[in-house]
Amino acid sequence: MLGFSSDFGLEEIKNQIDVNNYFSFFSITLLASGMLFELPMISYILSKVGILTPQFLRKYRRHGILIMMILAAMLTPTTDPFSMMIFATPLFGLYEISIWISKFTVGKREKAKDEAEKKQEEEDKEQE
């Protein structure tokens, strides 16, 4: 990419590529993208603890989309909406996956809770 960029353009334009700025930008973008792709794991943990529910995620979907668009605008290197949408589309997919993971986790937790209550009721009946 750097080779193409250095050959691209006119002879009057002198490319001054600073390796420190390049690696700094690359590292920040990579770290931010990696952290954002942990969203399904975070939703699993919060759902397992009981803090997050799929109803909450569905209710605030519009707010989530707005936050995703703001993050995409901040993390993309250019200002065009096409790059922003390319970055925001996987985030939206991860948000939807997080809803499904939360639904599965909450359903599993409630099923285990119901089974524990039934078992407790059976033990109470046996003791009487």
> Model confidence over 2-54: pLDDT tens digits?
666 666 666 676 667 677 877 887 888 788 878 888 889 999 999 989 899 99
Which amino acid is located at 125 in the chain? K
Least Cα distance to 94 among 24, 23, 37, 13 occurs for 37
Least Cα distance to 102 among 112, 90, 91, 94 occurs for 94
Is the pTM higher than 0.85?
Answer: no
C-alpha span between 97 and 21 (Å, rounded):
34
For residue 68 the two structure tokens come to 């995703």
Strand ranges in the chain using DSSP code E only, listed in sequence order = none
Q: Residue 65: what pLDDT?
A: 93
Q: Residue 118: what pLDDT?
A: 87
| Other beta carbons within 10 Å of 9 | 10
Q: For 56-60, what is the mean pLDDT? A: 94
